[in-house]
Chain A
Amino acid sequence: MSGNGAEARAAGVRVLLVDDEAAFLETLRKRLARRGLTAEIAMSGEEALDVLARAQEIDVVLLDVKMPGLSGIETLQRIKVAHPLVEVILLTGHATLEGAVDGMRLGAFDYLMKPCEMDDLLAKVFEAKARKTELEGRAAGGGGTP
């Protein structure tokens, strides 16, 4: 089935889940792991930045917009400064498009409305990973060419 193809693609995709809901994080991590993705979790924006600083190989960040402390948008800004190649997908409970549009302008790859379907989520993550790979390749190629 397509599941096998997905799994094949999923191997090596490293995801960081950022949300203040522990139960949501844990379950989502398990489900992603079951589909072959390596998922780290962080309960806040600050923690997410710590994890990113430690584990350089994170490809995609799934970032909740509404969190106590550092908000999703602020976290996104800092991620983009410190790790410009890491792709960020916003998870929003708000239906206000303004928040999503702001996020997109700040460099988010896309946004998803909470609660979201697993299939939608996976599709977005793979797209993000693909773009990151493409950008990395271009960056490396660009670096090699005088």
Chain B
Amino acid sequence: MFDRHYYKSLTRSMVLTVFLVSLTPLALVSAITSYQFHTSYKDRVNAHLRELVLKHKRNIDGFLAEKLAVIRVLADLIPESRFRDPAALQTILKSLQDRHHGAFVDMGLVDAHGVQVAYAGPLRLERARYAETRWFREAMRHELYVSDVFLGLRGSPHFIVAVRVRASGAEWILRATVDFESFNELVESVAVGQTGLAYIVNNQGEFQTRPRREAAVGPAEMRGILARASEGAGRGDFSPESAAAGIRMSQAAVALDVIHGSAGGGDVLLLTAPLKDGAWTLAYQQDEADAYESLYHARNLSLFAILGGGVGILLMAVLVSNRMVNRIVEADRERDMMNEQVIEAGKLASVGELAAGIAHEINNPLAIMLEEAGWVLDLLDDEHLRRHESHAEMVRALKQIRQQGGRCRDITHKLLSFARKIDPTVKPVQVNEIVRDMAALSDQRAHLANVRISVDLAPDLPEIPASPSELQQVLVNLINNAIDAMERGGELKVSTRLEGASVILDVADSGMGIPKANMARIFDPFYTTKPVGKGTGLGLSICYGIVRKMGGEISVDSVLNQGTVFHIRLPLEEARA
């Protein structure tokens, strides 16, 4: 009767609605908070990295400035002649190495022609000529100079710290070599996480330190980045004073670039800070995935939470929707049942009205026929007609007509008394009277079904408060059921008796009995074992309703193939709830 698809689509739309309504705010809140978290966390990480780079830039600048200052102090305080003495120079170097943890490798004094006039250190570089080297030319132009890292004459990376000294009417260069390894260590100590990598490059993008791994950007690309970063930055001589000024630099001095699609595959953060007044650049790189690791971790966690929540919501939605739709199905079914019941009741009412109408219409012609028969009988009373040979036969026939007419009248009267509307008005009722009436009404039907109806009524039964119409209905239903239960005929016995404060009314048949399996359901509305169209399944439930309303009880005993007895107990006093 009801479309399965309707309920399915109802379930679907309910699931969808519940799911969307529940998930949308969750997703919205997650998106907003994760975006906020994302940006603020990135900012924090970036700031942290900038701070780190800046700190190390200061350290390195400080390191260089310190080395330069030391050499300068030496040049200022010690007369040039002392440097020319190799033994004295050796002593100075020894002291420098002791105080600076071996950062200084060697020292030398170079004259204005680029000839090293004095040298102290592990190599034999006395009389080495530096006139053509770049560092020498630069050192001659500036008062203080820190060279790029180069291999030099000895074949190992190092850089030179040089101070120009004016003495004995000539210019000298006091130079010291700073060990690359200890400098490299200083830079390499700048590392965070798994992929943090720090290194120094010069303006040409050449490495000044030895990175542990390959850098994310090549020299050409680095030059571009450096050009952008150093725009507007002054390019003066590096000196301890300028280094001290540099140390007070703000974070803004650190540039942050994101290099997409590096050799490693992912995005790489590249932070650059100018060193040595822009001659060098401290570069720090770290994979984004590494730098923002906990951010991505949090993001994954929240995605997982949303996914889990979504699945949970979906399950709940399905569960709740199914339960609700089942309720709706049940309610619909109940409503259908009610509708059927109403239709059945309407049918019964119209059948009753029809029967009453027919009975009433038949009464008038019946009355005329009986009057006519009576009139003919009256006429046959005349003396001369009495002598007619067929007189006796005619009288017999007319009496027969009158008698059968009387039967018809009885039937129509019973029909009318039954078919009239059920009147629930309660009044004192003599149960025996109603039993007799109903037994008589059913007699014709019982006769056709080859059933013998007998009544066994207790005398002096007190009247009970009840609606006669309803009690009639109960009896007619029970008697009809009993006759139906005896397909091959049998005995139907209706008996009454007084028991305590109740009138007991039994309707017993010798029919087929009720199987145990059906026993629990016989009073259910619309439960019937009769073929479709034969029984409404309402009879016993109506009986049950009426008897319960009267404060009575109805019960049944049945033995298969031997018969069934319905017991009705009706209280003498009105005992309604």
A interface residues, Cβ below 8 angstroms from B: 21, 23-24, 27-28, 30-31, 34, 66, 93-96, 113-118
Contacts and interface: CB of A to CB of B under 8 A. Distances in A.
A58 B302 CA distance: 108
A94 B369 CA distance: 18
A114 B412 CA distance: 10
Contacts of B363: 93, 114-115
A24 B374 contact: no
Nearest to A118: B374
B364 A24 contact: yes
B560 interface: no
A27 B372 contact: yes
Contacts of B405: 115
B468 to A, nearest CB: 10
Interface in B348-371: 359-360, 363-364, 366-371
A24 B368 contact: yes
Contact of A94 (B360, B368, B375, B378): B360
Nearest to A95: B416
A30 B374 CA distance: 10
Interface in B314-360: 359-360
Contact of A95 (B364, B369, B375, B413): B413
Contact of A31 (B360, B368, B371, B420): B371
Contacts of B370: 115
Given A31-B374, A95-B359, 7 more contacts: A23-B368, A31-B375, A94-B360, A95-B416, A95-B420, A114-B366, A115-B369
A134 B413 CA distance: 34
A30 B376 CA distance: 11
A116 B372 CA distance: 13
Contacts of B417: 95
B409 interface: yes
Interface size grouping (class) on chain B: 20 to 34
| Central interface residue in A23, A94, A114, by most chain B CB within 10 Å | A114
Contact of B367 (A24, A31, A34): A24
The 5 closest A-B pairs by CB, nearest first: A95-B416, A115-B367, A93-B363, A27-B371, A115-B370
A94 B421 CA distance: 13
B420 A114 contact: no
Contacts of A21: 364, 367-368
A72 B164 CA distance: 151
Contact of A115 (B359, B366, B375): B366
Contacts of B368: 21, 23-24, 27
B412 to A, nearest CB: 8
Contacts of A30: 375, 378
Give chain B's interface secondary structure class: helix
A93 B371 contact: no
Given A94-B360, A115-B405, A24 B371 contact: yes
A114 B371 contact: no
Given A21-B368, A115-B370, A93 B378 contact: no
Contacts of B413: 95, 113
A77 B418 CA distance: 30
A66 B416 CA distance: 15
B405 to A, nearest CB: 7
A93 B420 CA distance: 13
A35 B360 CA distance: 29
Nearest to B379: A34
B487 to A, nearest CB: 32
B428 to A, nearest CB: 15
A96 B367 contact: no
A93 B364 CA distance: 7
Given A27-B372, A115-B366, A115-B370, A34 B378 contact: yes
Contacts of B416: 94-96
30 contacts: A21-B367, A21-B368, A23-B372, A24-B364, A27-B368, A27-B374, A30-B378, A31-B375, A31-B378, A34-B378, A93-B360, A93-B364, A93-B367, A94-B360, A94-B416, A95-B413, A95-B416, A95-B420, A96-B420, A113-B409, A113-B413, A114-B363, A114-B364, A114-B366, A114-B367, A115-B363, A115-B369, A115-B371, A117-B406, A118-B374
| Central interface residue in B366, B369, B371, B413, by most chain A CB within 10 Å | B371
Nearest to A27: B371
Contacts of A31: 371, 374-375, 378
A146 B65 CA distance: 159
Contacts of B371: 23-24, 27-28, 31, 115
Contacts of A95: 359, 413, 416-417, 420
Contacts of A24: 364, 367-368, 371
A33 to B, nearest CB: 10
Nearest to B402: A117
Nearest to B366: A115
B390 to A, nearest CB: 21
Nearest to A91: B367
Interface in B363-399: 363-364, 366-372, 374-375, 378
A35 B431 CA distance: 41
A95 to B, nearest CB: 3
Contacts of A118: 374
A115 B416 CA distance: 14
A115 B409 contact: yes
A99 to B, nearest CB: 11
